Amino acid sequence: MKSLSFAVALALQSALVPVAQAKLSQAERTMTKTVAAEQERHVALLEKLVNQNSGSLNLDGVEKVAAMMRAELEPLGFEVTWKPMRDTGRAGHLIATHEGRRDGKRLLLIGHLDTVFEPDSPFQTFTRMGDKAKGPGVGDNKGGMVVVVAALRAMHRAGTLQGANIEFHMTGDEEDTGDPIDKARADLIAAGKRSDVALEFEGLVRDGGADMSSIARRSSESWQVTATGRTGHSSGIFSAHAGDGAIYELARIIHRFRTELPEPHLTFNVGLIAGGEQVALDDGKIRASANGKTNIIAATAIARGDLRTLSAEQAARVKAKMAAIVADHAPGTGATLAFDPGGYPAMAPTEGNRALLARLNAVNRDLGLAEMAALDPLKRGAADVSFVAPHVDSLAGLGAHSTGDHGPDETVDLPSITRQATRAAILMSRLAAEKR
């Protein structure tokens, strides 16, 4: 029965392919064939990119990867500019622009040059394992950049790139953003405001074995609560003159966060906490030191955490609730709530984003591929597309599929590069052919 089922499935697949191909234009069939024929070229490019370390703090390494991408894009007719950002503590951004028809839609493509793996990481090289490959940034986001190159080369071969208006922004600090973030993302935001569509080439997510698309990504912000109390001998705790102390005040706040804040699509984590007679944070606010005694009421307590929301409206509502909880002080205590500057905004699930997914699913149908559902935004983090999403219809997750990202087992599914590049080439060609 197993053999029969396989034979039937194979026959059905063979029958469907000509039907799907018949729905593609001649240019789209050329793009499909070009991407497939150049698969080994794509893998070779990926290996080259991965073997050059480009951790966010390896500024020279990020620039070397940028030079490799420049060499891919200029022969396709792109004007490529390097925007230095060393005054933000990061290398800079590579911006490639292709001017086509004056009245055509303007597409913004988003990827990033940097990885989380700095030069002191033991994970440094590309290793191929049949249809998979392991390496630092092989999926996030060097696999995504290769998908873009493969798609653009196919468009160039088919003639659909000639009339396309495309800006491709490759940030050099997506994994660890430069400071101030307003400067670090100014060029990307400006590009979003002058574009009609934004396509982000972070990794494809599979859920239950099915390819998914992302029409929403949640925000990422860091917060800090600093509680204060009247220090003194512990025998006076809870009295009218001593009050509850800083640690009890902080415990009250965190407990009320946990019980009063929860709502759909919201998470709020406490990642660092310290309290005592004296408390100090390091410059990066990722380490805390404290001292105190069991018989002394704590004078200070600090908690740091993050907040992730699905929209600006949700963020504002939750922040107001947090502020009200913090302000409702326990006896003899005080507390303040502060949010770190910068952070990533939310990419809300708008109707425009849903319409873009419908366009992508039209491509899937014409290729004979399964339609893609919208991924639950709880299942992926924040990314650069969120900075432009308030200004332009956006779609995320168009890069290669990988597993183990940000760790020593980061592994890319190589056939996904071909599938994603084919989808992207046809989608971009169809969108670029439309009038603004």
Domain ranges of the chain: 20-217+345-432, 221-339
Which of 271 and 380 is assigned the larger pLDDT? 271
Q: What is the pLDDT of residue 7?
A: 39
Q: Give yes or no for residue 425 having a pLDDT over 50.
A: yes
Q: What is the pLDDT of residue 22?
A: 61
Range scoring the smallest mean pLDDT among 9-18, 223-232, 348-357, 409-418: 9-18
Query: Percentage of the chain with pLDDT > 70?
Result: 95
Confidence of residue 416 (pLDDT cuts 50, 70, 90): very high
Q: What is the pLDDT of residue 62?
A: 98
Report how far residue 29's alpha carbon sits from residue 23's, in angstroms, rounded to the nearest whole number: 9
The strand pairing partners of 186, in sequence order, are none
Q: 20-217+345-432 maps to which CATH number?
A: 3.40.630.10
Range scoring the smallest mean pLDDT among 130-134, 175-179, 186-190, 292-296: 175-179
DSSP H helical ranges for 336-413: 351-367, 385-388
Q: Give yes or no for residue 6 having a pLDDT over 50.
A: no
* Beta-strand relationship, 106-112 and 165-171: parallel
For 35-83, how does the pLDDT look when each residue is reduced to its tens digit (9 = 90+)?
Answer: 999 999 999 999 999 999 999 999 999 999 999 999 999 999 999 999 9
Q: What is the fold of 221-339?
A: Alpha-Beta Plaits (3.30.70)
Token digits of residue 66: 């940028």
Note whether 396 and 202 are within 8 A (CB): yes
Q: Is 316 left (phi over 0), alpha (psi -120 to 50) or beta?
A: alpha
For 317-327, how does the pLDDT look when each residue is reduced to its tens digit (9 = 90+)?
Answer: 999 999 999 99
CA distances from 197 to 56, 191, 296 (A): 27, 10, 59
The strand pairing partners of 313, in sequence order, are none
Report how far residue 364's alpha carbon sits from residue 27's, in angstroms, rounded to the nearest whole number: 16
Q: What is the pTM of this model?
A: 0.88
Token pair 């998979």 in the structure block, residue: 132
Q: Using N-to-C axis directions, what is the helix angle for 142-158 and 59-73, rounded to 10°? A: 10
